[in-house]
Each structure stands twice: as C-alpha cells, then as structure tokens.
Structure 1
Amino acid sequence: MMKIRNKLLLSFGTVLLIVLLAFLIVYSTLQDVSKSYFNLANTDLKKLQLAHQIQFEDLALTDAVRGVIIEPDNTAEREKYNQFAKQIDQHIKEVTPMLDDSRTKKIFHDLNINNQKLVELETQMMELAGEDRQKTLAIFHGEYADIRAIFSSKLEEFKQIETERITKKIAEDEKLIRKKIMAGAAVFITALFAGILIAIFISKRTTRPLWKIANKLEELARNKGDLTARIHITNKDEIGKLAAAFNRMLENLQKMMLKIKETTDEVSASALELSEGTKNFAESTEQITMAVQDIASGAGDQGDMADESSHAVNNIANEVQKIASTSSFAAESALTTSKIAEEGNKSIVKAVNQMEFLQKSVDEAFIKIEELGKLTDEIKKISDVMANIAEQTNLLALNAAIEAARAGEQGKGFAVVATEVRNLAEESKQSAIQINEMIQHVLSIAAAAVENIDKGRSDLKEGKRVVDDAGRAFHKILTSVEKVTCQIQEVSSSVQQMSTGADQVAVSIGQLADIAKKSSAHSQNVAASTEEQLAAIEEFTATAENLSNVAKKLRNMIGEFNV
C-alpha cells in the first residue's frame, strides 16, 4: 500500500528525472561540441592559420629578395629576408607534427624540399646581385619563379584540404547537435506530458473520493441519509483507509440505529403494558378502597370481603411482577443501546483523526511540489547561462569574421569557419531559448498542480468540518439514548416499589381476615393507605405516558435514516 505522499514524491520524482535526463543530453551535446571546437581551434584552425602565415611570409621573403636584387647594399632588406626565412622554417616545423594523414604529410614534405631549394636560390641571387645583375634576374624569373609556383600551389592545396576538413567537421558537429537537441526535446516533451497526466490523475484520485465522503457526511449531518449505502473506493492509500473507516462507521451506526429502533419499540410496548397494568391496578385499588369502606360499615361481612380483597391483591402482585420483569428487560436493552452509541461515537472520533492525518499528508505533498518548482527554477537559471554562453560565442565568431575580413584573401578560410561557428552559436542560443520556454511551461503546470492540491486541501478541511458536525449530531443521539436509559431505570425502580407495596397490602389483608373483629378499628388506616397507593399509581401512570412520548420522539428521529 502506497501513501499519497509517496505517490506524489514518486510521480514528480519521475518527471524530475526525465527533465534531468533531457538536461544531461543537452549538456553532453554541448560538451562534445566544445571538445570538438577545442580540437578544431587548437589543431585544424591552427594548421590553416600557420599555412596562411607561411604564404604571407613567402610573399614577404620574395619581396625582400627583390629589394636586395634592386639594391644589393640595402641591409634592411637583408635583415627582413633573414627574419622571414627563419619564420618559414619554424612554421613548417610547427605544422609537421600536427599532420595526421599521408596526403598532407607528403605536401609538407614537398614544401620543405622546395623551401630549401628556394633558400639556396635566394642566397645565390643575393650574392650575385652586386656582380651580375642579368644572371640574377634570369634566375629570379626562371628557376626561382617555377619553384615558387610549385611552393604556392602545394600550399594552396594544403589550405584547400584543411578548409574542406574543417567544413566537414563543422557539418558533422551541426548534425550531432541537431540530433541531440531533438532527443533532448523529445525527452523534455515526454516529461511535460507525463507531468500533466500525473497532475490530472492525482487530482482525480484525491478529490473524487473526498467528495463522496463529504456528501455522505453532509447527509448524516442533516440527520438524514441512507445508512445501508456504502462508499465504493478502491484506493489503497490514506483515502482508502478513510473510506473503509467511514463504511465501518456507517455499519456500526446502522446496527446502533436498528438496535435503538428495536429497543424503542420494546420500550413503547412495555409502556403500553405498564399503562394497562397501572389502570388495572388502579381499578383494583379502588375496589380495595370500597371494600375497606364496606368493612367499616359492616364488620359481619368483613371476613368474606377480606378473602376477596386478598385474592385481588395477589392478582395485582402478579401483574406488578410482570411489569417489573418487562421494565428490567427494557433497562438492559437501553444499556446495550447506550454501549452501541458509545462505539459509534468512537468511530466518529476515529474518522476525524483519519481526516487530520490525511490533511497532514496533503500538506506535506504541497511542500514537495513547491520544492519541485524551486528546483525547476534552478534548471531555468542553468538554461539562461547556456544562452549567455551561446551569445558570447556568437560575438566571438563575429569578431573572428571581422578579423578574417581584414586579412583579405588570406582570411577567407577562417571567415568560413567563423561564419559556421556563428551559425552554430545562434542555433545553440535558439535551443536554449526553447528549453527555457519548456521549463517555463513545466513551472506553469507545477503551479496548476499546486492550485489543485490547494483546492483539495480546502475540500479536505470542509470534509473535516462536516465530520465534526456529524460527530456533534451523533453526540445528541447518544445523549437522548442516555436520557431514555435513565427514565427506563426510574420506571423499573418505581415498579419494584409497587411490587413491594402490593406484597405489603396482601399481608395486611391476610391479617385482616384473621382479626376480623379488629377490622373496624383499623379500617380507616387501611383506607388511608389505599388512597396513598392510588396517588402513587397515578404518578406511575404519568411516568409511563412520559416514557411512551420519549419513545415516539426517538422513533421519529430514527425514521429520518434509512436503516
């Protein structure tokens, strides 16, 4: 059996894991792209940049050689030549370890050989410049120009290969990014729909059973309702426990009402029998009074009248004994009803406690959903950081494109790379914005879930109030049953007193038969005693009528329920 709190934690934990999975996919993509661009910048772009520098240095070197040929004594041009010659050698050596395929290795091998040839020819031309200008120009425009053309073509071929390789890597990275972004978006959309479905499911599973219980309690609070009906809820959580406890309360209340109804019928019947018995007893007492008066007027007939009176008193004693038995049974039934009422009251208290426990669980779930909203805010901040990184990358790519444009023809390849990086940064920024929008939507869904649960909390409070009202109504029934029990016990006590009085009258009449001669002197005392007995009987009759009225009221109260 899973509690509501655990269900909420499991459901929203699942959604959170899916969201984190989407974030990890995007983060992994950015890491892969970052690593790829790092390698691109430190290897491929660097090789391309060095190739451009070698090309520029070759032009500067040729220009320095031309200056020496024109002015053999120009030391500035010679120093310029020496500087660029060293740089070309250094850059060729720097590029060579970076090469990872046979084609580019062969190209740079040929470049190195041609560079050595060019250095030899350049040294020869600078030595002949002051001695034989014609021969120097012939070398410059002949063999030297041919080797430079081969050197330039090899360098252009290398630049083209590296540019194509960089373009291919960028295309592959773009394809990977799109694939990962689509996967992350799919996972994120799945999390979004899962969150919506979970919110709807939990809302329905929580509020519908509570409404059923609240409506039933409202019926009971109005002292109306069908006690034979049961609430059918299949939940295995606290709501299921509450429904089961509520059904047990209805069952106990139904049994108690049936027992009260039976007891009320028995009390009503006993009251009728008691009323009839008191009437007979009153008639007998009147007959005794008349007999005593006859004894006072004529002692001669006193013996016969005493026998008749003794017989009548014995009959009265028997009737009173029957009434006493009936009253005792009614008192026992009333006590049993009182115990059942107490058990029903305990069930009401247990239902109230269960409602309080359920309210506590819903409050805890409310707190957890708020924590989920805070965690989603943190994810949103991370997405904002990703968008800022993409914006910075876009600016860097723009600056690189500007620098490439300034470089002219030598910066074309680098400009292509900068443009691709800029496009990729823009796509990354758009993806971050989409993720931010999705997170914002999740926040709105979480807010709706908070609102639904808060509404459930209000409904739960209303249900608790209705349970309290039912408890108070049930307490009134318990109080009425206790009053009936007390009145029945009073009636039973009065009947016992009547039985004792009847026995005393029988003894007195027996003595009256033995002392017939003294009956005239004691007849006035007996008449007075019978008058007092008659007054007691009238009070007893009033008590029996009051008991009958109470039984009718209790029967009408029970009639409000369908048992």
Structure 2
Amino acid sequence: MSKLNKKKRRSSFKRKIMLPFFIMLLLFSGLNIYMVKVSVDYNDQYNNILDTIIAANNINEYAGSIGIQLRDILVGKLKPEESTHKEAQSGIAETIGYISGKLNTDESRSMFEIIQKQSESLLKNAEEAEAGFNDKKLAESNERVKEVRKLEEFLKESIQNFILFEVKQSEVLKEKIENGFRMATTVNASILAVILVFSVIYLRKVIKNISGPINSIRQKAMDIAAGRLGGEALAVATNDEIGDMAEAFNAMAENLKKIITKVNEASSKVRSASLQLSEITGQNSSANEEISATMVEMAEGIQTQNNETKNIAAEIDTMYRTSEGIRLSSMQILNNANESVQLAGEGSEYINSFLQQLDQTRAQIEDAAISMEQLNANTGKMSEILNAVKAISAQTNLLALNASIEAARAGEAGKGFAVVANEIKTLANETTESTQKIGDLIVEVQKQSGIVNERFDDSRKLIIEGNTNAQKAMEFFNRIADKNYIVNNDIEQISKDLSELISRIEEINRSMVEIAAITNSNADASQNVSAAIEQQTASAQEITASANEMLALAENLDGLLSGFKL
C-alpha cells in the first residue's frame, strides 16, 4: 500500500461541502420542527374548541328532548317505556364529562361550570318528575316538568353564550395560527436567503481552492507532455483529494524522470556495445579475408608441388634410359625439393598466424558475448522499470476513475473536477501506451540479442573447428618437410653414386607415391580450411548486420528519449 493510501486525510471535498450545509440543514430543520410543533399545538387547541362547541350543542339537543318527552308522558301521548329521555340524560352526563377534559382556559371553565350546574339541576328535576310518574303524583310531576322546561331555556341560553365565547376563542387561535404561519414563512425565507448567500460565498472559496491547484497540476502535466521533466515539484498545501492528487502527480513525475534517466543510460550502453561489436566483427571479417587469401596461395603452392612431383616421376622414368638425363633430373629434383621445403615452411608460418588470429577472434567473440549478456541483463532491468511505470499508470487511472465518480456525485459543482479527472485519465492512458512501446522495443532488443548470442555460439564452434583443421594442416606441412628432407638426401645420394641408380629407382618411386598422397591430402585440408573460413566470414557478416540493427534500435530509442528534458 502506498504512502498516499496510508495517509489519513484530515478533510475532503465531501466533508468541506457537506458539513456547512448539514449544520444549516439541522438549524433549519430544528426551527421548522419547532414551528410545526407550535402550529400543531394551536391546531389541537382549535380542534378542541370545535369539539367543545359541537359537544355543547349536543347538550342543548339532549336537554330539549328531555322536557318534551316528559311532557308527552305526563299528558299520555308517550309511554314511559317508549321514551328516550333516559338516554338523553346519560348523553348529557357523558358530554359534560367530555367537555370538562377539553377546556384549557379559566374563562371557559367558569362559563362551563354554569352549564354544568344547570345541567345537574335539569337532570335532578327530570328524575323527580319521573319518580312522580311512578308514584302517581301527577301534580308534583307537572311542577317538575315545568321546572325542567324552564331550566332548558336557561341551559340553552348558557350554552349559546358558551358557544359564542368558544367561537371567539377559535378566532383568536385561528389568528395565532395564521400569524405563526406567516412568521414561519418569513423566518424560512430569511434563513433560505442567508443559506443562499453563505452557500455562494463558501462555494466561491471552495472553487477557488480547487481551481488553483488543478491549474497548477494541468500546467505541470502540459510540461511533462511536452517532454519537460525538470522544474520544481507541485506545492499544494491542502489536506484533501487535490493534495493527494498533487502528491501522486509529483511521485509520478519523479518516477518518470528516473525511468527516462535509466533508459537513456541503458540506450547509451547498447549503442556503445553495438559499435564495439560492429568494430570487432569488421576486424574479424578482414582477418578472415587475409586467411582466405593465404589459403588460396597455399593451395596454389600445393598444386605446384603436386605438378613438380609428377615431373620428378617423369624424370625418374627418363633415368632408366640415360644417366645424363638422370643427373640433370636429379639436379632439377633437388632444386624443386628445396623450393618445396621453403614453401612448406612458409605454409607452416601462415598456419601459425592463422591459429593466432583464430584465438584472437575467439577471445573477441567471447568478450562480445559477455557484453550481450550484460545487455540482456540491462534490458531485463528496463522491463522491471517499465512494469513499475505501468503499475503507477494503472493506479493513476484508478484515481482518475474515483475522481470522476466523486465529480459525478458532486453534480454541477464537480464538472470542472470531472474534466481534470478525464485529463489525468488520458495522461495515464498515454503513459501506458508509451511504456508499452518502450516494452516492445526492449523485447525486440532482447530478441535480437538472443539471435546475436546464437550467432556467437555458432562462430565459436566454427573457430574451434577451423583451429582443429589448421592444426591438422600444420601436421601435414611438418610431414611434407620431413619427406622433402628425405628426398634431398636421396637426390644427393643419386648424384654421388649413379651406380646405385637402378636399385634406388623403386625406392624413389615409392617415395614419390607417398609425396603425391600427402600432396593430395594437403589439397583436401586446404579446401576444408577455406570452407571453414568462408563460413566464419558469413557468420561475421550476419553478426555485423545484427550489430547494425541493434545500433539502429539504440539510435531510435535515443530519438524517443531526446523529446524529454531532465
């Protein structure tokens, strides 16, 4: 986990933007809750008044029905069991209890006490009238019924006064509710105005704190895109996402600068190794050409020796006919033998020189192989660096994606931040593409290095084989020198003692057959050496081509790196 991820952020855009609005929302909500509570209390009081008015009106209706029904019972229009005056009495008692629990003011309670006393008196007279009905005391019942009728009128008047008072109370409450609503509307409008002003001021400050660092990051990104990797790092003194993004951008720029520096150093080493390899292969080609020319001369000398051997055989054949011819031929053979010895010595010197050049070539190829191994190791390190760049680019892309999500959540306020997030994402994608291209170049260099190493191995094998063939040729030359020495002794012996000519002719013929065989063997060996030299020359040309190709790749890489200024 990176240091940026471990860092605990003290504040963020979300907290900076949401916290003030959350506080204002709490204040606004608390005030509205209080206003709603007050309105609900007023509404409850208003509803209680309405319920009280309705209940009081019910008392009036109950009371009116009691007097009428008692009168009808008294005159015989209504039977007692068919009357509902008892239910009306119960309704009055229940309604009085209900209204008593609803009253909130002293005036209402005082006025309702009058109604309550009148209701109790009415109910008492109604009960006495009913008792008179049962006891057949009609005169007394009639008096009680009249009293009930009077009390009904008094109760009706008291209820009307009570209802009028409650109506006035309801109008007062209604006015309070309307005033409360107007006050709530005014307070809410004022708070909204204050919130809007504060929001504009606060958002301007937040936008300024966001746009300034983002512009710095954008300018730094444009410098990097133009290849200018120098300059000071971004200094953003904020403890939010912008600060995190600036630190991540500084880390990315520093890592990119280190990568470009290491790639530049590796490119210089590749170019130097390519030039050295090209020079070595050029020297090897020149040496092979010289050796090839020497082998051609040696082959011509061997052919000459073969021809001279045939001439010697012809002269020996002539010695059978005339001794003078034998003497002349022996002198010619002596001269030719001396020349053959000289040629054999020169051939040995050329072979020694060729062996030394082969050893030098093998040492140079081994040095070049070591350089190629170092190049492969350096390209491997370059691949590790490029993998690190890819990881940083992926992390930057992820940060840009998170920033785009946060910008989308922020709505209109996050549009500018979303544009910056997209620019960062584009920069991360371009960085990924560049690292991919460099990675492809490194893979190509490694591939070519592998081919060159294979060619070096083939060249070493050919040199070892050529060295073996040259040593065999050296042995053949030594044998030729030995045989020529024997021929010289034989010819001198022929010159001293012609009498022994006949007995020595067969021995000379056998010696000439051996010389011819050795000469043919030398010719074959020279052809093998020439073929090996041609193969080595072809391998050297391929190595030169590979070195030139690797040099071209190094120059191409230098061209890419020249666009960056550290």
Q: TM-score, normalised by structure 2?
A: 0.55
Q: Which amino acid aligns with 2:472?
A: Q
Match of 1:497 among 454, 458, 473: 458
Q: How does 1:154-553 map to 2 (within 5 A)?
A: 188-220=192-224, 222=225, 224-226=227-229, 229-296=232-299, 297=301, 298-363=343-408, 365-366=409-410, 450-516=411-477, 517=480, 518-553=521-556
Return 5+ residue gaps in structure 1 as ranges.
40-95, 100-171, 367-449
Q: CA deviation at 1:256?
A: 1.7
Paired residues of 1:203 and 1:453 also in contact (CA < 8 A): no
**1:120-174 CA-partner distances (Å, limit 9, x unpaired):** xxxxxxxxxxxxxxxxxxxxxxxxxxxxxxxxxxxxxxxxxxxxxxxxxxxx999
Counterpart residue identity of residue 24, structure 2: V
Deviations 1:495-536 (A, max 9, x none): 333233323323332232223244333102211221221122
Q: C-alpha separation between the residues in 2 aligned to 1:267 and 1:199?
A: 56
Which of 14, 17, 24 is 1:5 aligned to?
14
- Counterpart in the other structure of 1:429: none
Q: Which amino acid aligns with 1:12?
A: F
How far off its partner does 1:31 sit?
A: 8.0
Alpha-carbon contact 1:19-1:191 (below 8 Å) kept = no
- Does the 8 Å contact 1:5/1:362 carry over to 2? no
| CA distance 1:190–1:533, shift in 2 (3 Å) | same
Residue pair 2:358, 2:467 contacting (<8 A) in 1 also: yes
Matched position secondary structure for 1:561 = coil
Q: Would you say the 8 A contact 2:397–2:429 is kept in 1?
A: yes
Q: CA deviation at 1:4?
A: 3.4
- One-letter code of the match for 1:305? Y
What displacement does 1:323 show?
1.3
Q: Secondary structure at the match of 2:198?
A: helix
Taking the aligned partners of 2:245 and 2:539, their CA distance within structure 1 comes to 54
C-alpha separation in 2, matches of 1:459 and 1:483: 36
Which aligned runs of 4 or more in structure 1 are off by greater than 6 angstroms?
Answer: 28-39, 172-186
CA distance 1:253–1:487, shift in 2 (3 Å): farther
Distance 1:191 1:18, change over 3 A: farther
> One-letter code of the match for 1:528?
A
Give the match for residue 98 of structure 2.
Answer: none
* Distance in structure 1 (CA, Å) of the matches to 2:15 and 2:184: 33
Distance 1:525 1:234 in 2: 79
Distance of aligned partners of 1:481 and 1:290 in 2 relative to their CA distance in 1, 3 Å threshold: same
Q: 2:403·2:418 contact (CA, 8 Å) conserved in 1?
A: no
| TM-superposed deviation, 1:359 | 1.5
Cα deviations by residue, 1:185-210 (Å, 9 ceiling, x for unpaired) = 77555433331233223333444444
The higher relative CO (CA closer than 8 Å, separation ≥ 6) is in: 1
- Is contact 2:32–2:184 with CA below 8 Å preserved after alignment? no
Match of 2:163 in 1: none
In the TM superposition, residue 274 of structure 1 has moved relative to its aligned partner by: 0.7
Answer yes or no: is the 8 Å Cα contact 1:289–1:530 preserved in 2. yes
Match of 1:225, SS state, is coil
Aligned-pair CA distance for 1:547: 1.2
Using the TM superposition, give the Cα deviation of residue 232 of structure 1 relative to its aligned residue in structure 2, in angstroms.
3.0
In the aligned structure 1, how far is the partner of 2:253 from the partner of 2:106?
A: 89
Aligned residue type for 1:255: K
Give TM-score scaled by structure 1 length: 0.55
- Structure 2: stretches of 5+ with no match in the other structure: 1-8, 49-104, 109-175, 302-342, 481-520
* 8 Å contact from structure 1 (residues 295, 523) kept in 2: yes
Q: Provide the C-alpha distance between the structure 2 equivalents of 1:342 and 1:463, rounded to a whole number of angstroms.
A: 19
Query: Aligned partners of 2:386 and 2:199: how far apart in 1?
Result: 47
Distance (whole Å) between structure 2 residues aligned to residue 285 and residue 452 of structure 1: 77
Post-superposition offset of 1:37 = 11
2: CA distance between counterparts of 1:224 and 1:278?
Answer: 37
Tell me the distance in 2 between the aligned counterparts of 1:231 and 1:9. 28
Give the distance between the partners of 2:223 and 2:448, measured in 1 at CA. Answer: 30
CA offset at residue 355 of structure 1? Answer: 1.0
Report how many residues are paired: 366
Measure the CA separation in 2 of the matches of 1:294 and 1:272. 33
Counterparts of 2:196 and 2:35 in 1: how far apart (Å)? Answer: 17
- The CA deviation at 1:321 is 1.6
Contact 1:278/1:540, CA 8 A, preserved across alignment: yes
- Given the alignment, which residue of 15, 19, 24 partners 1:15? 24
Q: Which residue matches 2:336?
A: none
CA separation of 1:36 and 1:507: change in aligned 2, threshold 3 A: same
Deviation at 1:257, TM superposition (A): 1.2
CA distance in 1, matches of 2:471, 2:213: 75
Q: Distance in 2 between matches of 1:22 and 1:97?
A: 31
- The verdict on how the C-alpha distance between 1:225 and 1:331 changes in structure 2, with shifts beyond 3 A counting, is same
Q: 1:210–1:463: 8 Å Cα contact kept in structure 2? A: no
- Contact 2:274/2:551, CA 8 A, preserved across alignment: yes
**In 2, Cα distance between the equivalents of 1:247 and 1:288?**
61
Higher mean displacement: 325-334 or 457-466: 457-466
Distance apart, 1:461 and its partner CA: 3.0
Query: Structure 1 counterpart of 2:364, which letter?
Result: E
- State the AA in 2 paired with 1:8: I
Q: Return closer, same or farther for 1:493/1:34 CA change in 2, 3 Å cut-off.
A: same
Contact kept, 8 Å, 2:278 with 2:544, in 1: the verdict is yes
Give the C-alpha shift of residue 175 in structure 1. Answer: 13
Task: Name which of 555, 558, 562 aligns with 1:559.
Answer: 562
